[in-house]
Structure 1
Amino acid sequence: MPDFRPQSNPKLSRRRAIGGAVAGTLGAAAAASLPRAQAAPARAQQSAPSGTYRIDLHAHFLPPDYRAALLEHGHLTIGGYPTPDWSPEQALAFMDYYGIQAQALSVSDPGVSFLSGKEAADMARYCNTYAAQLFRTHPTRFGAFAVLPMPDLVASIAEATYALDELHLDGVILLSAYNGVYLGDPRFEPLMVALNQRNAYVFVHPAAIPVNAEPKLPLPDFLAEFTFDTTRAATMMMVTGMTQRYPNIRFQLAHAGGTLPFLSHRVSVASQTVLGDLWPQDLPKPSILDTKRQIGNFYYDTALSGSVAAMAATLAVTERNHIVFGSDWPFSALTLPRSGSHDPAPGLSDIFDADQRMEVERHNPLRQLPRLAEAVNA
């Protein structure tokens, strides 16, 4: 089968080996301590649909100048994962092999925030223009979410306006935090106004924690910390009322919402505890039912989360029509099935039948991206 793994980097081999060993140890320990019958309802694996039908809403791209800039500024890894090669040809080969009809491409962490001022704005424009040209060349294979020169709000609003109104990109990607300031913070309000006016689809992707705040653990960020950062962002967006004030924005949370589904009850009861007495006067005090509604309104992708444990938790807080397919390629290259299977997420068949997988992997994503849906179904 084709090898979609990134090229090796000798300087990173030891780190990758340590990360892989730790991940393997954790997985083995979990399997030993949690019998399958206790972890999830017993169910025979269902058959997946056949053909090239999937629509991938969590797929990354690294245009040549962007990747070169990352490496030049010392970003040899992203979230602890070796910065991969990427090309349209590699992406098409990956999609063809794994039955993916189209990908909505996005720039992963750190976005363009490793640059500043005009450099950041120019790099965002370069990435967004590159993406627009790509889906015009391959209209049925690619869509894109615009990267913004955050945390510069004036430049970000200008770029969002251009990318959505002129380039007709399918949405926007925002990181969970910028310089340690999480989505939901009032300083991001002007951008949310602009996105709400455009009924924007916003993909929320985790960001690396600033070095001075990062726990000293021998684990790559993508393994666990990324999931926690998505949870922090989603929680902040709810408790500050952002998700209530801007109902026209549809937010997709990466990796099945991080840990949000598991923590949904704890988050929802916050206002009923002593925190409720300290709630700011100028913010709406959420009720348990309203917080549950807000959690259910998020969209959750399956990237690195195609398992009964992750999907059962997600289905406990939202309807199936709020789950969308994501591959996380090329950052997921090392985790893809290596047995010759053309199914990028066989674990989804442990909880979804063929019709349900078709809903999650095709119909739900296309409902959210009308431009891409029109191109794909033309």
Structure 2
Amino acid sequence: MNGPRAEAPPAVSRRRALGSVVAGTFGAAAVASMPNAQAAPARAQQSAPSGTYRIDLHAHFLPPDYRAALLDHGHLTIGGYPTPQWSPEAAVAFMDYYGIQAQALSVSDPGVSFLTGKEASDMARYCNTYAAGLLRSNPARFGAFAVLPMPDIAASITESIYALDELHLDGVILLSAYDGVYLGDPRFEPLMIALNQRNAYVFVHPAAIPDAAKPKLPLPDFLEEFTFDTTRAATMMMVTGMTQRYPNIRFQLAHAGGTVPFLSWRISVASQTVLGELWPQDLPKPSVLDMKNQISRFYYDTALSGSAAAMAGVLAVTNRDHIVFGSDWPFSALTLPQSGSHDPAPGLSDIFDADQRMEVEHHNPLRQLPRLAAAVNS
């Protein structure tokens, strides 16, 4: 685990995304205008573990035919970020440089939902079979979450059974919503039954909101909208009872749960407001304590959230054993340290010591993915 470091992987050969420009411009202006921006002293940064030990549960891949199909259908950006290049070799170089022992790969938004019918099913099978090949050829470096041909529920059940039972992938990835229908909706119940029967690990990733349904702001979706959509999905899964009905499914929320930790109290008191009086008779009416319990049962990844502020929020709603490491690579390439640091998330040391970082970045992820754990530890 303490082998030599690789050279820095090549930078993304594209212009900086609009989001990084906007975030840099507006972010600097906002901080400069805050009268108390320097009022709270920062906690002294602690040492991080050394070596190649991290297990990355939020990492994306774009197999060749999948990326070509995205571009052919006009998906030149994903969430406002230019659709990146990806290869197994580049992934290994990235992992070696940033001390990542293994990545659980997944297809990001829009999944295969830009296709329909047999084309969607065939593309999902292609991506999952491609991932299974990586697991066979390099089982200690790669895991994978299966993409499903959503919103076709019947086809998605078939593909989830094949991916989990036959290809032995480590879980599945679901987007926060499909065609504007959020997880938690009753039409997803048959799929949840199949996943619950298999004790599946489910990575919930945000989806881009249709242009007609979001504010007209000069900001890319990945900057803010993605976090809000994760929150909408998690809330709907809780208030409709989905997370109660399927306790064998472990749900990982991307990007530290979006805004779920910050809004946890507001979400939990919903049943005490007028909303509680209008609660459907066929759904269990959640209590404050029950909602707190459901929020605490989610798993929260550190992708694009490696800061004391984000992690303190997560620790306020769950235990540290429900936090897992995520890099969001290759979409996070422009945000990663490029000045010789081999730590992909140095901000985690503002709140975690070395032993705690080892728990979050290594032990917690492996506890959830037994196949990958066995491969890594063999």
Identity of aligned residues (%): 84
CA contact (8 A) 2:18 2:80 kept: no
| 2:344 alignment partner, SS class | coil
Q: Give the Cα separation in 1 of the matches to 2:375 and 2:350.
A: 31
| 1:43 alignment partner, SS class | coil
Alignment of 1:143-222 (within 5 A): 143-222=143-222
Q: Give the Cα separation in 2 of the matches to 1:156 and 1:137.
A: 26
CA contact (8 A) 1:243 1:294 kept: yes
| 2:255 alignment partner, SS class | helix
Q: Give the Cα separation in 2 of the matches to 1:5 and 1:322.
A: 32
Structure-1 residue corresponding to 2:351: 351
What are the Cα deviations for residues 113-163 of structure 1, in whole angstroms up to 9, with x where unaligned? 000000000000000000011011001100000000000000000000000
Alignment of 1:40-189 (within 5 A): 42-189=42-189
Structure-2 residue corresponding to 1:281: 281
**What is the Cα deviation at residue 215 of structure 1?**
1.4
Structure-2 residue corresponding to 1:311: 311
Pairing 1:6–2:6 present:
no
| 2:133 alignment partner, SS class | helix
Q: Give the Cα separation in 2 of the matches to 1:36 and 1:278.
A: 45
Q: Give the Cα separation in 2 of the matches to 1:312 and 1:23.
A: 22
Q: Give the Cα separation in 2 of the matches to 1:197 and 1:173.
A: 16
Q: Give the Cα separation in 1 of the matches to 2:18 and 2:375.
A: 44
Rate the CA distance shift 1:358–1:36 in 2: closer, same or farther, 3 A: farther
**What is the Cα deviation at residue 30 of structure 1?**
4.5
Q: Give the Cα separation in 2 of the matches to 1:312 and 1:36.
A: 19
Structure-2 residue corresponding to 1:250: 250
CA contact (8 A) 2:58 2:104 kept: yes
Gaps of 5+ in 2: 1-6
Structure-1 residue corresponding to 2:321: 321
CA contact (8 A) 2:255 2:302 kept: yes
Q: Give the Cα separation in 2 of the matches to 1:36 and 1:295.
A: 32
CA contact (8 A) 1:4 1:330 kept: no
| 1:145 alignment partner, SS class | strand
Aligned length: 370
| 1:62 alignment partner, SS class | coil
**What is the Cα deviation at residue 94 of structure 1?**
0.2
CA contact (8 A) 1:99 1:343 kept: yes
The residue identity in structure 2 corresponding to 1:35 is: A
What are the Cα deviations for residues 200-253 of structure 1, in whole angstroms up to 9, with x where unaligned? 000000000012212111001000000000000000000000000000000000
Pairing 1:228–2:228 present:
yes
The residue identity in structure 2 corresponding to 1:200 is: A
CA RMSD of aligned residues (A): 1.2
Q: Give the Cα separation in 1 of the matches to 2:192 and 2:39.
A: 44
**What is the Cα deviation at residue 268 of structure 1?**
0.4
Rate the CA distance shift 1:192–1:37 in 2: closer, same or farther, 3 A: farther
Structure-2 residue corresponding to 1:333: 333
| 2:203 alignment partner, SS class | strand
Q: Give the Cα separation in 1 of the matches to 2:294 and 2:368.
A: 18
CA contact (8 A) 1:182 1:232 kept: yes
Structure-2 residue corresponding to 1:271: 271
The residue identity in structure 1 corresponding to 2:251 is: F
Q: Give the Cα separation in 1 of the matches to 2:238 and 2:356.
A: 29
Q: Give the Cα separation in 2 of the matches to 1:313 and 1:26.
A: 23
Q: Give the Cα separation in 2 of the matches to 1:139 and 1:254.
A: 24
Structure 1 segments of 4 or more deviating over 4 A? Answer: none
| 1:151 alignment partner, SS class | coil
| 1:217 alignment partner, SS class | coil
**What is the Cα deviation at residue 22 of structure 1?**
1.7
**What is the Cα deviation at residue 19 of structure 1?**
2.8
What are the Cα deviations for residues 342-375 of structure 1, in whole angstroms up to 9, with x where unaligned? 0000000000000000000000000000000000
Q: Give the Cα separation in 2 of the matches to 1:17 and 1:285.
A: 43
What are the Cα deviations for residues 70-121 of structure 1, in whole angstroms up to 9, with x where unaligned? 0000100000000000000000000000000000000000000000000000
- The TM-score with structure 2 as length reference comes to 0.96
CA contact (8 A) 1:6 1:82 kept: no
- The TM-score with structure 1 as length reference comes to 0.96
Q: Give the Cα separation in 2 of the matches to 1:204 and 1:20.
A: 24
**What is the Cα deviation at residue 57 of structure 1?**
0.1
Structure-2 residue corresponding to 1:293: 293
CA contact (8 A) 1:176 1:182 kept: yes
The residue identity in structure 2 corresponding to 1:222 is: F
Structure-2 residue corresponding to 1:35: 37
**What is the Cα deviation at residue 29 of structure 1?**
3.8
Q: Give the Cα separation in 1 of the matches to 2:229 and 2:10.
A: 27
**What is the Cα deviation at residue 7 of structure 1?**
2.2
Rate the CA distance shift 1:278–1:158 in 2: closer, same or farther, 3 A: same
Q: Give the Cα separation in 2 of the matches to 1:226 and 1:36.
A: 29
| 2:85 alignment partner, SS class | coil
